[in-house]
Amino acid sequence: MTMQTNPTLRRLAALGVVAILMAGCDTGGATLPPDSTSAPVGTRTPVATDAAGASSGPDSTFHLGPSLGPDATPTPTSNTGTASAPVVPPSTGVATLYHLQLGTDLDSEGNPVGQGTNFAEGTTAIIGFLGWKFVPAGTELKVRLFQGDRFAFEASHTVVNESNKKGSVGFVFPFVVKAGFPAGAYSVEVDYNGVTDEVVPFTVGTGPGFDAVVGTGSQSGPIPYANPADVLVVTRASVLRKNLGSRTDEVLAAAAKVGDLHDLEADGQTRDTAKDTVAETQRLLKAGNYKYLLIIGNDDTVPYVRVTNPLADSEKSDLADWQLPADWVPSDNFYTDLNGDQYGTPDLPVARIPSSDDADLLLKQLGENTPPDGGGFALMNQERKVQGGLITSAMSQLAQIRMQYVPPTTPDQFASNADASNARYLYVLLHGIGVATNSWAANTVSWSPTNTSSPLDDEWSLSEANQTDGVRVESNPTSHGVVFIGACYGAWTLDTIQEPVHKTSDNDLALHYLKSGTRAYVADTHISYSYRMAPTDIPMGRTGFEYLFWNAVAAGQTPIDAFQTAKVGISKAIDALVAAGDVDTANVNLKTLHYMVYLGRP
| Same structural domain, 98 and 123 | yes
Residue 514, domain extent: 228-373+478-599
CB 505, CB 512: distance < 8 Å: yes
Give the pLDDT confidence score for residue 164 in this predicted structure.
76
| Same structural domain, 139 and 239 | no
Q: Per residue in 102-126, is it b (16+ CB within 10 Å) or e — as a string?
A: bbbbbbeebbbbbbbbebeeebbbb
Helices 541-554 and 385-395: crossing angle in degrees, nearest 10, is 20
What is the length of the chain?
Answer: 602
3-state secondary structure of 105: strand
No. of H helices and E strands in the chain? 13, 29
Give the pLDDT confidence score for residue 39 in this predicted structure.
37
| Same structural domain, 507 and 580 | yes
Could you tell me which residues are beta bridge partners of residue 597? Answer: 523
The beta strand positions in 2-71, using DSSP E, are 38-40
In the β-sheet with 260-263, what is the strand arrangement from edge to edge?
82-84, 211-214, 401-406, 376-381, 425-429, 482-486, 520-524, 596-599, 350-353, 292-296, 231-235, 260-263
Query: Which is nearest to 505 in space by CA: 595, 599, 372?
Result: 599
529-564 confidence digits (pLDDT tens): 999 999 999 999 999 999 999 999 999 999 999 999
Rounded Cα distance, 576 and 570, in Å: 10
Exposed, middle or buried: residue 579 (CB in 10 Å: 0-12, 13-18, 19+)? exposed
Rounded Cα distance, 281 and 295, in Å: 10
* Helix ranges (DSSP H) in 310-373: 312-320, 359-366
Could you tell me which residues are beta bridge partners of residue 381? Answer: 406
Q: Domain count of the chain? A: 2
462-482 confidence digits (pLDDT tens): 998 789 999 999 999 999 999
| Same structural domain, 64 and 100 | yes
CB 152, CB 72: distance < 8 Å: yes
CB 141, CB 156: distance < 8 Å: yes
Rounded Cα distance, 110 and 9, in Å: 10
Query: Which is nearest to 590 in space by CA: 488, 602, 576, 274?
Result: 576
Low-confidence ranges of the chain (pLDDT < 50): 1-80
Residues 6+ apart with CB under 8 A from 571: 343, 345, 589, 593
Q: Is residue 167 part of a domain?
A: yes
Q: Which helix (H) or strand (E) holds 287?
A: helix 274-287
Residues 6+ apart with CB under 8 A from 283: none
19-28 confidence digits (pLDDT tens): 222 222 222 2
Give the pLDDT confidence score for residue 311 in this predicted structure.
98
| Same structural domain, 189 and 241 | no
| Same structural domain, 298 and 398 | no
Give the pLDDT confidence score for residue 209 in this predicted structure.
81
CB 403, CB 378: distance < 8 Å: yes
Q: Is residue 472 part of a domain?
A: no
Could you tell me how far CA 393 lies from the centroid of its own chain? 14
Rounded Cα distance, 110 and 51, in Å: 11
CA distances from 230 to 95, 124, 288, 297, 368 (A): 45, 63, 9, 20, 17
Q: Is residue 469 part of a domain?
A: no
Q: Is residue 1 part of a domain?
A: no
3-state secondary structure of 192: strand
| Same structural domain, 102 and 178 | yes
CB 428, CB 485: distance < 8 Å: yes
CB 237, CB 248: distance < 8 Å: yes
Q: Is residue 82 part of a domain?
A: yes
3-state secondary structure of 115: coil
Q: Look up the CATH number of the domain holding residue 494.
A: 3.40.50.10390
| Same structural domain, 485 and 384 | no
Residues 6+ apart with CB under 8 A from 491: 354, 485, 510, 521, 522, 523, 524, 525, 597, 599
pTM comes to 0.88
| Same structural domain, 488 and 409 | no
Give the pLDDT confidence score for residue 81 in this predicted structure.
61
| Same structural domain, 85 and 212 | yes
| Same structural domain, 187 and 238 | no
Q: Is residue 528 part of a domain?
A: yes
| Same structural domain, 19 and 103 | yes
Q: Is residue 2 part of a domain?
A: no
CB 205, CB 234: distance < 8 Å: no
Give the pLDDT confidence score for residue 21 in this predicted structure.
25
Q: Is residue 456 part of a domain?
A: no
CA distances from 150 to 184, 206, 342 (A): 12, 20, 59
CB 160, CB 138: distance < 8 Å: no
Peptide bond into 89 cis (omega under 30): no
